[in-house]
Amino acid sequence: MYPHDRGKQIITILLKRKFQTVTALAKQLYASESTIRRDLKTLEQCGEIERVNGGALIIENSQLERPISLTNRENIDKKKLIAELAFDFIGDNKKIFLDSSSTCFFLAKKMQTLNNLTITTNGLLTAYILSAESDSQVYCTGGAVYSKRSSVNGYHACRYIAEHNADIAFISCKGISRSGISDLKEEEAQIKRMYQQQSDRTIVLVDSTKFNKSYFCTALPFDKIDVIISDAPLPQNILNVTNKYSINIIFP
């Protein structure tokens, strides 16, 4: 099979299944994994696909949703660093909201050392790790489970959050730009707006790969955010806006 023919077959497979591992592609196309990696590199350079840990995603548009199993493996060092910085804001006896993001998942894994926390989350994996590794009181919102995200969203989830209060809401996003933070889906943006509304303080956790990226749904404008924690300084164009609202910016 010629390389350009194999590239076309890779695209065909990814169009049907969105994500495939290198191993799976190698088996389907009867090629070595090193050959598939070279093909994926070429296709990425042409803007056809996006390589991620262990495989590739088709790029149909810039509004691409990743399964939680992938996002939990992406930019791990950045997310762990952000979780470390965010942990300094939490003490014993606090009421906490955590969204379903992978960054909040890493933060949840650190909470086992604290006492008498009350934690509400719409993330199924986050709820699981907290119940398995901490003595916190853990509450999970009801509602529809969002496909591939292990995330509970929708009317019932928002109604549940509206009936509770927290000292701090930790949320993440798909992108941060001069207009605020944004997400792919309105259901996720609604959850984050409700967390902000019901908490005394809202802290956004956003890694540097999301800088100057804007998605369809605005989750929160900057006047609703108290603190932004990242692994790197914010770009100057975003910083110019956050300074107007006296947002506390935390980075290493």
Q: What is the side-by-side strand order in the sheet with 118-121?
A: 137-140, 118-121, 95-98, 166-171, 199-205, 227-229, 248-250
Residues in contact with 33: Cβ distance below 8 Å, sequence separation at least 6, in sequence order? 22, 23, 26
CB 227 within 8 A of CB 89: yes
The CATH number for 22's domain is: 1.10.10.10
Q: Mean pLDDT lowest for which of 9-23, 154-168, 204-218?
A: 9-23
- According to DSSP, the β-strands at 118-121 and 95-98 are parallel
pLDDT for position 67: 53
pLDDT for position 73: 55
C-alpha span between 33 and 88 (Å, rounded): 43
Give the tokens for residue 22. 């290198």
Mind listing the pLDDT tens digit for each residue in 66-120? 555 455 556 789 999 999 999 999 999 999 999 999 999 999 999 989 999 999 9
Per-residue pLDDT, averaged over 132-160, amounts to 88
Q: Are 11 and 114 in the same domain?
A: no
Q: How many CB atoms lie within 10 A of CB 158?
A: 19
Residue found under tokens 């548009």: 61
The CATH number for 242's domain is: 3.40.50.1360
pLDDT for position 231: 97
pLDDT for position 92: 96
In angstroms, how far is the first alpha carbon of the chain from the final one?
A: 49
Q: Are 144 and 171 in the same domain?
A: yes
- Strand-pair partners of 202: 169
CB 127 within 8 A of CB 121: yes
pLDDT for position 191: 96
- Whether 66 maps to a domain, the answer reads no
CB 219 within 8 A of CB 227: no
* DSSP string for residues in 23-50: HHHHHHHT--HHHHHHHHHHHHHTTSEE
Q: Are 75 and 15 in the same domain?
A: no
Residue found under tokens 């992938």: 70
pLDDT for position 168: 98
pTM of the full predicted structure? 0.75
- Whether 21 maps to a domain, the answer reads yes
Q: Are 100 and 146 in the same domain?
A: yes
Task: Work out the burial of residue 132: count CB atoms within 10 Å of its CB; fewer than 13 is exposed, 13-18 middle, 19 or more buried.
Answer: exposed
Q: Which structural domain, as residue segments, surrounds residue 33?
A: 3-60
Q: Which residue has the higher pLDDT, 187 or 161?
A: 161
pLDDT over 70 percentage in the chain: 90
Mind listing the pLDDT tens digit for each residue in 181-208? 998 888 889 999 999 999 999 999 999 9
What is the total count of domains within the chain? 2
C-alpha span between 245 and 195 (Å, rounded): 19
CB 121 within 8 A of CB 191: no
Q: Are 17 and 84 in the same domain?
A: no
- Whether 65 maps to a domain, the answer reads no
Q: Are 54 and 82 in the same domain?
A: no
Mind listing the pLDDT tens digit for each residue in 58-74? 765 444 455 554 555 56
- Whether 77 maps to a domain, the answer reads yes
